[in-house]
Structure 1
Amino acid sequence: MEIDKMLRHSVTLFRQNEAKDNLKFLPQVRLQNTYVNLDIRLSKMANESQRFNYHSRSKINRNHLLFSYVDVLKRYLLIANLKNWNQLVLISDDEIDALSHKKQASLDDINKLYLAIKNMLFNSYFDRRQNDFIYSWKLFLKFGLSDLKFSVQEIEQEFNNQVTQKIN
């Protein structure tokens, strides 16, 4: 997965949107907004996955779910950039492959997985812990690759689609 390229595109788009809307934030406010935005989008993505709603009988819209997943991914990349943690999100193809082949979370474990993602994410903000950010990032990647069964190619294609739509 070309995470370094995705990182550059995410930051460029964010900066272009800020400039277009003439938004000027203090760095701490920008970071807080990005964390909140990531949290909201992560919750939306989880809801769309229907992995957490045991009573739902509706069919999952895989395209909407992939869109939401990539939307969250872009926010992770933006946070990494805002905190100068770019190197933390750059993982090897071997690590991506290993995450893809991890055991899919059971119904009992899926809630724990989601809560761990959020807990580690919030720890990275409140306690400024890089290791928690890395852990949250990798759990998020595992969720998409193993639990939601998205391929690297699907994720990259959707990312490119979103970047192209924003530019045009």
Structure 2
Amino acid sequence: MIKINITPLLQHVIAHDWQVMDNLSDEVAPLGADGRLDNTMTCLLVSLSRTVTADGWFDKVNQPVKQQSPVNHSQLLTNYCRTLNLFLLWSAKRQWTHLVVLGDDDWQRLTEAKLAEKVTDKNKQYLAIVRLLGNVQFSHQQESFRHAWHLFLKMGLVDWQLTPAEISTTSQQLAKL
């Protein structure tokens, strides 16, 4: 079973965040720890929306199959990995990194999950992630974060068929920018 090695991705994301924080000018008002956490969640939700937009299934509901444009794999992968990095960063800032590391059983369940083929199934997954992240932000529910994370990984690995290798490589490259 091929899986994503989360630990080095976490390390890259944390190091990149520290570098960004060190390079902020004195003119930028500090957000404080809570403000940075809120900002990271906002970025995560916006990035998730951009990832879904790159696939655009919701725009295709009334289009005949012949007129549907193909998904730009590179754009989808880049947006997905930006979102993945923000999930990891948020978990690090909240000190919930234990929730993003998956065991073999978790990886197996994710990779064997049913492909979401219908627009309604994809909508439900996306809306579930948004709702779960709202629970995380306002009620600090670790299980909601874990479930949102698993759904997000499932979307990438199963629904969009992104490979663990390309996810790992792209995520690390984005954390170095």
Q: Residue by residue, what CA displacement relative to the aligned partner does 1:95-144 show, whole Å, maximum 9, x if unpaired?
A: 22431221111322110000001100110110010000000000000000
- Contact (CA 8 Å) 2:45, 2:130: kept in 1 or not? yes
Aligned counterpart, 1:100: 111
Q: Residue by residue, what CA displacement relative to the aligned partner does 1:64-109 show, whole Å, maximum 9, x if unpaired?
A: 1100000000000011011110101111244224312211113221
In the alignment, the residues of structure 1 paired with residue 123 and residue 99 of structure 2 have an alpha-carbon distance, to the nearest angstrom, of 25
State the shift of 1:154 in Å: 1.3
Structure 2 residue 144 is the aligned partner of structure 1 residue 132: yes
RMSD: 1.5
Larger Rg: 2
CA gap 1:39/1:27 in 2 versus in 1, 3 angstroms = same
Structure 2 residue 95 is the aligned partner of structure 1 residue 84: yes
State the shift of 1:2 in Å: 1.1
Normalised TM-score (structure 1) = 0.92
Q: Percent identity?
A: 30
Once the two structures are overlaid, the 10-residue window that deviates more, 153-162 or 59-68, is 153-162
Q: Which residues in structure 2 correspond to 1:18-167 (within 5 Å)?
A: 18-22=21-25, 24-54=30-60, 55=63, 57-107=68-118, 108-164=120-176, 166=177
| Relative contact order, higher structure (CA 8 A, sep 6+) | 2
CA gap 1:97/1:153 in 2 versus in 1, 3 angstroms = farther
Normalised TM-score (structure 2) = 0.87
Structure 1: 5+ residue runs without aligned partners?
none
CA gap 1:62/1:156 in 2 versus in 1, 3 angstroms = same
In the alignment, the residues of structure 2 paired with residue 5 and residue 93 of structure 1 have an alpha-carbon distance, to the nearest angstrom, of 17
Aligned residues: 165
Which amino acid is 2:95 matched to?
N
